[in-house]
Structure 1
Amino acid sequence: MYEPNVVGDWHEYDDHDGLRVRVHRLEAAEPPRGRDDAAAGLTYFSVRVTVENRGSRHFGVQLEDGQIDVRVGPDGEGAVIDWRSSQFIEGFDVYPLRRATAVLYAAGPEAALTQVDIQIQLRVDEDWTDRRLWAGGIGVLESTAATACQSATTGGLAHQVSAFLKDQTEPGSPA
């Protein structure tokens, strides 16, 4: 079964020994070059995508527009990606024990930012990797009471995803 990653998790590529990637630091943030007109009335957020090489040879890595898809809310609506303010990895050689990080700025309706899905497809040495998904959310709307109640019962989105995946892999669970 294909299991989505939770924001912050590392994903290792079997085809590229030692290469791994993660989506992390999903947070509300204004873009450094000002707001895009297409994002009027929306709330901005940023996310980092880090590629790390723990192998013994270097990899040529590319992560640009078209290789990242960001969806928000329960209906999976497309977020407005601010290409002008985002920083991508454009044909960079990641040597052993080194990292390269892309910073993406996007915007969506504030109410939808509690559920953010980010899909990545790296290009490594002229080969395309499989698409991988990270799920997370921003606590922009969470009040103090909701946060206390949520942490006491469900533990947030990461806990919900983990519980779902655990239910799917337990013997006797419906498949």
Structure 2
Amino acid sequence: MYEPNVVGDWHEYEEHAGLRVRVHRLETAEPPRGRDDAAVGLTYFSVRVTVENRGGSHFGVQLEDGQIDVRVGPDGEGAVIDWRNSQFIEGFDVYPLRRATAVVYAAGPEAALTQIDVQVHLRVDEEWTDRRLWTGGIGLREEPVAAVAATAAPGSLAHQVSAYLKDLRDLTDMEDRTEPGTA
């Protein structure tokens, strides 16, 4: 099964030796030239897509509008991408040991920003690479298992996992209390 990259991870392209890309710096941010009318009532965020050349020759890289797709929330609804404020990589030669970065401004419902998926379809030397997906979120925080169990609906995956961990912890506590040779 194909697993997406986590925001911040590098992905190397086997067909282009030394070329790698990553999606990173996912954060809430207001766009520099004002908000788009389509984003009224939504929360803005930005994400960077960096292409790095660690190979021996240069690559012509293109990463423009339509080659980056941003989805938010558990249902994968399309985020409003602010094309006017975003900065793309338009036919740039990335030489060895150099980088080029695109900055995308997008907006979505605040509650949906804990799950953000960014798909990148890079074009290198007039050839399309495979699409790659990065996933992350804004405002993610780890809650103690007890807090998750209290808020999780019975039968949900979160409830099942927390019940399993509680049972495992209870079993470990029981084994610690049992003296060797008495069980």
TM-score w.r.t. structure 2 length?
A: 0.78
CA-CA distance at 1:150 after TM superposition: 5.2
1:16 is the counterpart of 2:16: yes
CA-CA distance at 1:148 after TM superposition: 5.6
Aligned counterpart, 2:129:
129
TM-align CA RMSD: 1.7
**3-state SS of 2:138 partner:** coil
Paired residue total: 148
CA-CA distance at 1:2 after TM superposition: 1.6
**3-state SS of 2:101 partner:** strand
Residue by residue over 1:22-53, the C-alpha shift from the partner in whole angstroms, topping out at 9 and shown as x without a partner, is 00000000000000000000000000000000
Give the partner amino acid of 1:129: T
Aligned counterpart, 1:149:
143
CA-CA distance at 1:124 after TM superposition: 0.1
Q: Where does 1:91-106 land on structure 2 (aligned, <5 Å)? A: 91-106=91-106
Give the partner amino acid of 1:110: E
Q: 1:151 to 1:137 in 2, by over 3 A?
A: farther
Separation in 1, partners of 2:68, 2:88: 10
1:29 is the counterpart of 2:25: no
**3-state SS of 1:113 partner:** helix
4+ runs of 1 displaced by more than 6 Å? 151-154
Separation in 1, partners of 2:61, 2:147: 41
Q: Where does 1:1-175 land on structure 2 (aligned, <5 Å)? A: 1-139=1-139, 147=141, 149=143
Greater Rg over alpha carbons, structure: 2
**3-state SS of 2:114 partner:** coil
TM-score w.r.t. structure 1 length?
A: 0.81
Gaps (5+ residues) in structure 2? 149-183
Gaps (5+ residues) in structure 1? 155-175
Residue by residue over 1:86-113, the C-alpha shift from the partner in whole angstroms, topping out at 9 and shown as x without a partner, is 0000000000000000000000000000
Q: 1:78 to 1:54 in 2, by over 3 A?
A: same
**3-state SS of 1:84 partner:** coil
Identity %: 84
Separation in 2, partners of 1:118, 1:94: 22
